[in-house]
Every structure is written in C-alpha cells, then in structure tokens.
Homo-oligomer: A and B are copies of this chain.
Amino acid sequence: MRSYAVLMFGCAASAQVKTSRETKGEFLSVAMAFCVGLMSAMYLCGGVSGAHLNPAVSLSFCIIGRLSWKKLLPYSISQVLGAYLGSAVAFLLYYDAIMDYNQGKLTVTGPNETASIFVTYPSEYLSLQGSFLDQVIGTATLLLCILPLDEKRNNPAPAGLLPVIVAAVVLGISLSMSSNCGAAINPARDFGPRLFTLTAGWGTEVFTCVCFLCYNYWFWVPLVAPTLGAIVGTCIYLVFIQWHLPDPEAEPDTRITDILETKPCGMKPVPMEKKGTEGFNRKASKEKEERL
C-alpha cells in the first residue's frame, strides 16, 4: 500500500519536475504535463479520490472520516519519499540538460539557477503573510473542488473518470494560483524535492535562501500553510455542503430521482415488484454505512 504511494508520487512529481525544466513548451504545457502525471498516478494506485496524493488531502479525508487517522503519518511519509524519488528520477533524466544549462554548477540563485526546477519559491513582490495566505486559499480551493467529486448524494463524477477530473481541477488551480509562489498546495510535493536538492548538491541554500520580502527559511510555508488550508477547506465543505445534503436514510429516493436524471446511461428505472424495492432500500442504507 505504501509502496503504491511512493511510486505514485514518484510518477506525479517527476512528471511535473521534468516538465518544469521543459524548454520545448510553455507555462501551459508544464501545467498540463503535471496534471497528466497526477492522473496517471491516480489510475496507477487506484486512489479514486486523490486521498493518497497529498498529505493535506489525506488529513482532510481523516477529518471527514474517509481515512483512518493512524494511516495519516505513514501515508504522508511515503508521499514525501515518493516525491523525493520522483525528483531524483527527473534529475537523472535531465542530468545532461541541467549540466549543460548551468555549466555544471547547481545554483539556487542567479540567472542559471536550477533549484526552481524542483522546488517552489515566492515571487519578489510577495510578503510572508501573502505567501502563507496564498497557500491556505489554494489548498482550501483544492479541497472544495475535490471533496464533492465522489459524493453520491451530490452530483458525483463517474468513478472511472475521477482521476481525469481531479487532474483538471489541479490544472485550473496551477493556471490560476501559481504566480505568487508556485502553488505547491502540497507539503510532500514541495518538501520531498527540497530534500532531494539538498542531498543532490544544491547545498543548504535551498532551505536558507533569501526569499526577497519573505524571511529566509521560507521552506516551512509550503509545509504548514497547505495543512491549515486543508482544514479550512474541509470545514467550509462540511458546513456549507455536506450538512445540507439529504441524510443517508433519505438517500434511496434521491438515488431513484438520480436514475431519472442520469438518462444518458440509457437506463430507465427497472419497474420491480415490492420486495425488490425494499431490498434496494435496505442495501442503499447499508452500503452508506460502510462507506461513511
């Protein structure tokens, strides 16, 4: 289970990092490639809800109760390891390119800096509180967009296409919220590669570099802020959406109406005899219990 997450992250992170180096392509193609990596990672590891892609998201799933708390730590660790592995593979893949780009020197600052291939840094104009707020809002938005996707009582996306839609959501966020400080919105995605650059020869500067208006040691922001953002986003979701949805018992009927509305599937509600319906109601509630 854990090795999954590792691989998964190796895939997603490396996809992003490689593309960040991409000279053939533009900002848009980088964002798209990252999302494809994310999508593939979710298909690869069967995470239908993105739960195991991001410690912040995993935390939110613990809060909602879709994930058991004792899994949170191992998952998070394996996600960081996966991100580390991913950036290592990316570095290997583009070793020649990187060495050619900066004449063999791995620098964190200056025109030929290559650290930003792997790690996020704040923009010049950005204040510390600004960057912190950016990460909180970004992660809260992410969770507000992901949590409803597999909520049966809402308007769920097809299970087989969840990875695609989650990837689209992340694409939107990285297109709209990454200009401040790279939209890590994921502690593992930022910390794993940062550890890698530290060990790969960029030196301790990746942790201590002067981040313009932000104080040094900025690295803690993408660790703490997304975690806080996840909690905020989850609460907003619970208060404004979850608690307004029909409660499980009422669900069977909602489901039936769902059937009416999801004609595209080409099914008309199978007209059945009494007990059939009972059985179905019983099932429905039971199944909810398992899930919730």
List chain A positions with a Cβ less than 8 A from chain B.
1, 3-4, 7, 11, 14-16, 18-19, 21-33, 35-37, 39-40, 42-48, 66-68, 71, 89, 92-97, 99-100, 123, 125-127, 130, 133-134, 137, 141, 144-145, 148-150, 152, 154-165, 168-169, 171-173, 175-180, 236, 240-241, 244, 252, 255-256, 258-272, 275-277, 279-281, 283-288, 290-292
Contact = CB atoms under 8 A, between A and B. Distances in A.
Contact of A25 (B28, B36, B42, B152): B28
B125 A97 contact: yes
Interface of A, helix, strand, loop or mixed by DSSP: helix
A180 B261 contact: no
A25 B150 CA distance: 30
A287 B284 contact: yes
Total copies of the chain: 4
Contacts of A30: 175
Contact of A255 (B240, B263, B286): B263
Which of A15, A24, A165 gathers the greatest number of chain B CB atoms within 10 Å? Answer: A24
